Structure formats: structure tokens, C-alpha cells
Amino acid sequence: METYIENKTMEKEGYFGIYGGQYINEELKIEFDNIYSKFLELKNDEDFQKELKDLLEHFSCRPTPVYFAKNLSQKTGCEIYLKREDLNHTGAHKINHCLGETLLAKKLGKKKVIAETGAGQHGVAMATAAALLGLECDIYMGEVDIQKAMPNVNRMKILGANVISVRSGQMTLKEAVDEAFSAYLKEYKTALYAIGSVVGPHPFPTIVEYFQSIVGKEAREQFIKMTGGLPDCVIACVGGGSNSIGIFDGFIDDAEVKIYGAEPLGKGEKIGENAASLTYGREGIIHGFKCLLLQNEDGTIADAYSVASGLDYPGVGPKHCYLKDIGRVEYKTINDVEAIDAFYELSRTEGIIPALESSHAVAYGLKFAKENKGKKILINLSGRGDKDIEFVMKNYPKAF
Ligand SMILES: *Cc1c(COP(=O)(O)O)cnc(C)c1O
């Protein structure tokens, strides 16, 4: 992962341009330095790499394939390819960093992982990895989200995790992170905070990116093998930014490949109606790091909304903010209706039901295809839609 861009920006450890950093107390800085040193050591440790590779291959079915979507391609006049992260164990890319983080926790001698979850996807992947590696697992989840995502709550419980209901504020993801973090402050000597995306204070964005970069590494090799060349563009949805940075890493040094991130526009452009931090955010600090952040006029953190609950975070990974600033990646918005349309389109033309999060990437891919005939488009299908079926049937039924 020693890319041109990283070398240029990582002059100051943990910063991506002006974003990122470590806005935390001194005591925790020492602990985070320990975590980072261990991580750097393990990155170069053959046994660790072997253990991780074995888990990814045999437990989570990597490498996931790149699939040529023939029907969609015929319909749009482009060549559309999907990187099938939906075929991972637990149904999304999240298992990639959860296996990495739990292995790291073991090597640090920790007994427990602590994590937050929104819709329960990160919670389920983390509970899965913790069960496999014999770690205790505390998952903090807003009470509103618990009520909305009962099947995932039950999965976590079956897997042996403690699901802790958070009842402050909006009772959703932001508050869950707040509470998970304060619990971690009390337990950091025996526990590791296993964050759900490329967010949080240094070194978490770097660690999670490293574990997700396998997506781009595989995809680049697979794409070249299949087509003899590189795609014209790569597209992924952006919540916190982990699946997107994972696939982008594979192509960031290929100047001829255009890269697009699809952000959730939710119900509209007003603050509070969307979760498009890169488009409508202003520089600010959340959960110990600096990023483009959705804020109210008075500077308080705004509520974030998207039909895809895995995307509704008011901040975003610091590297994305930097990639936007330097113009390497363009961030586009997709609203709820466009995402739902893409959800049905992919289901009915290809027989693949995508997660609502991933549907944002598919929607932008379809938009791009309309305006750019004949191009080769690679879309990261970050997860499958099983978890969204009940919600879609209830709220967005379509004629059958
Ligand atoms: C959680 C989730 C996302 C959003 O998280 P990122 O860190 O932005 O990748 C996207 N897709 C799926 C399927 C998810 O579960």
C-alpha cells in the first residue's frame, strides 16, 4: 500500500492533508501508539499474514469474484463489472476488517472487542469474528436501530455478543459510537475498540484501510485477467468510507482510471435530510478526528439520514476528504429513490439483490453508463440485500 499519495500525505503520521489526526487525551494516545506499533510489526510478520490470509480464504470465501453483468451491460451500452463483496461470509465487506481487527486484538493480548453498530452489519461481522477467535464482544447499538434491525440483534446474540442498548440523543449510530467510546476509555487495558469503518482517531483509519485494501488488490488483478486492461472507472458507495477506500486503493495510482464515490443524498439537499458529508460537510471534529462533517449553522453536529442505515454517519473517513481536495476522486450524490430503483434494477436484470448501501454505487454506475457509452465500469458491490428485504417490501413495494 505504499502509494504515491500516501507517501506524500503521511509526512505527518495519521494525517491526510489537513484531515485525520488524534483528538484524544494523552493517556489514550499512549495506548493508540502501542496499537499502531503492534499493527506495523504484524504487517511485516509472515505468520500473521498467513493466519489472516487463511481466514480470509477459508472462512470468508476470498477472493470474491469480479462478475461481468451481461444483462445490465447490454441494456446500458457499457461493460459493467461487479466486485462481489456481497459473497463474503456475513454478506458484506465488513468481515475483511473485522477478522483483521480481532486478530490484532488477540496479538495485543486483549480479552474483548468493543464496537458500535448502526444497522447491525458491523456488529454481526464483529460478533462473528469474535466468536471464531474466542474473544468477548460488546456491541453498542442505538435503541431505535435495535427496534429496526431485530434479525441482526438476534444474530449477534446467537453468536454470543452482548448487545448494549443506547438510549441517549437520537438513539442511533452517533450516540452508539459515543457510548462505545466511553466504555472503551474505562476498559482499554483489556479491550480493543474495533471501529466499523475508516474513521476515528489515528491509527484506526489506517488500520481499517489496510485490511480493506485486499478488495482493490484482488479487483485490479482480476479485472486485468478478465479484460486485458484496466476499467475506465471504479465506483463505490461511501458511508464511513471503508469499502470504497478498499477498492480505490487498487486503482489510485492508475491515473487513467477515473474514481467515483457515491454519497447518500437521502431525501434532499438540506442539512438533516442526507448523509453526504463530502458534498455538504464543513471541516470539523467528530469522534477524535478531523473530517468534512455535516453541521448545523451553529456548528453542532447535524443528524445524518439515508434510506441505507449503513451510510448515515455525519462524518467520513479523513482520506476521502483529502482525495476530494486533491481531485483524485469525485464524489457524487444519489438520493433514496435512485438507490431503490437501482436495488430493483440489479435484482431483476441480474438476479442479484444488493444491499441498499451498495445500491447507491449501482445507481451512480447506471447514471454514468447513460452519459458515457462504451465504457468499462467496475462497481464495488459492498454487500447483499437480505437485511433490507422486509424494509423495502414495507416501504417501497413494486408491482410483481
Ligand atoms: C456498512 C456498510 C457500508 C458502509 O460503510 P463503508 O465504511 O462506507 O464501506 C456499505 N455497504 C455495506 C453493505 C455495508 O454493510
Ordered per-residue pLDDT tens for the chain, 400 residues: 334 444 444 457 899 999 999 999 999 999 999 999 999 999 999 999 999 999 999 999 999 999 999 999 999 999 999 999 999 999 999 999 999 999 999 999 999 999 999 889 999 999 999 999 999 999 999 998 898 889 999 999 999 999 999 999 989 888 999 999 999 999 999 999 999 999 999 999 999 999 999 999 999 999 999 999 999 999 999 999 999 999 999 999 999 999 999 999 999 999 999 999 999 999 999 999 999 999 999 999 999 999 998 998 999 999 999 999 999 999 999 999 999 999 999 999 999 999 999 999 999 999 999 999 999 999 999 999 999 999 999 999 986 6
Buried/exposed 205-228: b ≥16 CB within 10 Å, e otherwise? bbbbbbbbbbbbbbbbebbeeeee
Q: Which atom of ligand 1 is nearest to the CA of 246?
A: 9
The residues, any chain, with a CB within 8 Å of residue 246's CB and separated by 6 or more, are 93, 96, 209, 212, 213, 214, 215, 216, 236, 380
pTM (2 decimals)? Answer: 0.96
Rounded distance from Cα 32 to ligand 1 centre (Å)? 24
Rounded distance from Cα 162 to ligand 1 centre (Å)? 22
DSSP, res 363: H
Q: Which helix (H) or strand (E) holds 66?
A: strand 66-68
Whole-number Å distance between alpha carbons of 310 and 230: 29
Active-site annotation holds for 382: yes
**Grid cell for residue 14:** 495519521
CA-closest residue to ligand 1 atom 7: 242
Closest CA to 197 of 317, 362, 307, 109: 317
Active-site annotation holds for 94: yes
**Grid cell for residue 276:** 453526504
DSSP state letters, 139-178: EEEEHHHHHHTHHHHHHHHHTTPEEEEE-STTSSHHHHHH
CB of 241 closer than 8 Å to CB of 317: yes
Rounded distance from Cα 357 to ligand 1 centre (Å)? 6
For ligand 1, pick from 94, 244, 359 the residue to mutate: most ligand atoms within 8 Å of CB: 94
Whole-number Å distance between alpha carbons of 347 and 159: 30
**Grid cell for residue 254:** 492508475
Residues with CB under 6 A from ligand 1: 92, 94, 121, 197, 237-244, 310-311, 355, 357-358, 382-383
Q: Which atom of ligand 1 is nearest to the CA of 245?
A: 9
Our CA angle for 28, 3, 284, nearest 5°, is 45
Secondary structure of the chain: what % helix, strand, coil (to 5)?
50, 20, 30
